[in-house]
Amino acid sequence: MPPNQITLLSTDIWKHIARQARITRCHVAVAYVGTDAPRLLPLQPGSILVCDFSRSALERGLTNPSAILQYLEQGVEVHSHENLHAKVFSFGDVAFVGSCNASANSEERLTEAAVRITDPKSVIDVSNFVLSLRGVRVGPELVEQFKKYYRRPAWENKKLPRSGGPSHLPLWIARWSRAASDKAESIERKTRSLALAAITDSSKFALSWFEWTTAPPAAIRNLSGEIIQIDDTSPEREVHPPARFLRDEAIPGKGGRIIRVEAPKDLKPIPLSRIYRRLDPAARSALEAIKQSGLIRDPALAKQLRQLW
């Protein structure tokens, strides 16, 4: 292969990466390290791994402390870089740069892409980038201290088919029919700092919350999918863009819960009347039929709603 050739990979990406990982030490920066990471990325002793081993990443099930401990036991040097989003792999004479986190979710469900690079200077640049990210050294003591924060991600609780195509996250509707209760307001104030610490990237996302007056579906509380909020109390009945679940707190004596989400800062709510005008007739009818909070079961409606922002 010519030294300057770049090849796009869109299938069997982890097979290519794993093949290189088995034969040489490497420098890797991959944001999240899931349960299956040691199988997908069999790092050799002396390799360097930079990942997001923050409390937030563990609470959301994105990095598994057991996988990190396995790497440490295999002689891998592990560092944590909070808010890391890069996925780059340098193997001496070849490098990969793409979208893949080290997880079964990446291998089995998500549509990923990466480029394979053999240009020597570019490979060195990738390696130096990884080395520049080294910061907090992760050892067994830190793993032991942080493992209590780990929460298993929803996709590990489900038997999901390997369809070979994109698998879209569930989309939920949460309707506000009234203002939050005094008890919910009080609990929200007391626990706000914990929720703020769980935000993925405070430059891109803002903390938002609402009161789910009945017990919310377990799938949402297991980090499954996104939530669109419809504020029926506002004059224009504003519809908020899809937001990702962060955490929740019980409201004693009420049966409901406070739902925390991280909402994209650059996306604004849209009046419900404008939403109706922008949907096709079938999707509009499907949305009009939703009278209470719950899962959007019509995939065409979910797709059109996501495309509004």
Percentage of the chain beyond pLDDT 90 is 44
Q: Which residue has the tokens 């939703």?
A: 290
Is pTM beyond 0.75? Reply is no
- Identify the residue whose tokens are 């040691």: 38
pLDDT over 70 (residue 216): no
- Give mean pLDDT, residues 121-147: 95
Q: What is the mean pLDDT of residues 218-223?
A: 54
| 269 CB-near residues (< 8 Å, 6+ apart) | 231, 238, 239, 240, 241
Residue 17 CA, chain-centre distance (Å), reads 22
What are 86-115's pLDDT values in tens digits? 999 999 999 999 999 999 888 877 889 999
First CA to last CA distance, the chain: 43
Residue 178: per-residue pLDDT: 66
Split at pLDDT 50, 70, 90, the class of 74 is very high
Q: How confident is the model at residue 217 (pLDDT cuts 50, 70, 90)?
A: low
Tell me which residue of 66, 160, 64 sits closest to 105, measured CA to CA: 160
* Residue range 256-302, pLDDT digits in tens: 788 888 888 888 999 999 999 998 888 888 888 888 777 888 888 88
Q: Which of 28, 33, 59, 49 is nearest to 200 (CA)?
A: 59
Q: 138-190, pLDDT tens digit by residue?
A: 999 999 999 999 988 765 655 444 444 334 567 888 887 667 788 888 888 88
Q: Which residues pair with 211 in a beta bridge?
A: 258
What mean pLDDT comes out for the span 214-243? 76
Say how far apart CA 96 and CA 12 lie, in whole Å.
13
List CB contacts of 227: < 8 A, sequence separation 6 or more: 171, 172, 173, 174, 220, 242, 243, 244, 245, 259, 261
Contact call for residues 47 and 76 (beta carbons, < 8 A)? yes
pLDDT average, residue stretch 74-88: 95
What pLDDT sits at residue 44? 94
Q: What is the pLDDT of residues 35-63, one digit of tens each?
A: 999 999 999 999 999 999 999 899 888 99
Task: Inform me whether the pLDDT recorded for 194 exceeds 80.
Answer: no
Mean pLDDT of 191-210: 81
Per-residue HEC secondary structure of the chain comes to CCCCCEEEECCCHHHHHHHHHCCCCCEEEECCECCCHHHHCCCCCCCEEEECCCHHHHHCCCCCHHHHHHHHHCCCEEEECCCCCCEEEECCCCEEEECCCECHHHHHCCCCCEEEECCHHHHHHHHHHHHHCCCEEECHHHHHHHHHHCCCCHHHHCCCCCCCCCCCCCEEEEEECCCCCHHHHHHHHHHHHHHHHCCCCCCCEEEEEEEECCCCCHHHHCCCCEEEEEECCCCCCEECCCEEEEEEEECCCCCCEEEEEEEECCCCCEEHHHHHHHCCHHHHHHHHCCCCCEECCCHHHHHHHHCCC
User: Is the per-residue pLDDT at 215 higher than 70?
Assistant: no
Which domains are delineated in the chain? 6-153 (3.30.870.10), 171-306 (3.10.590)
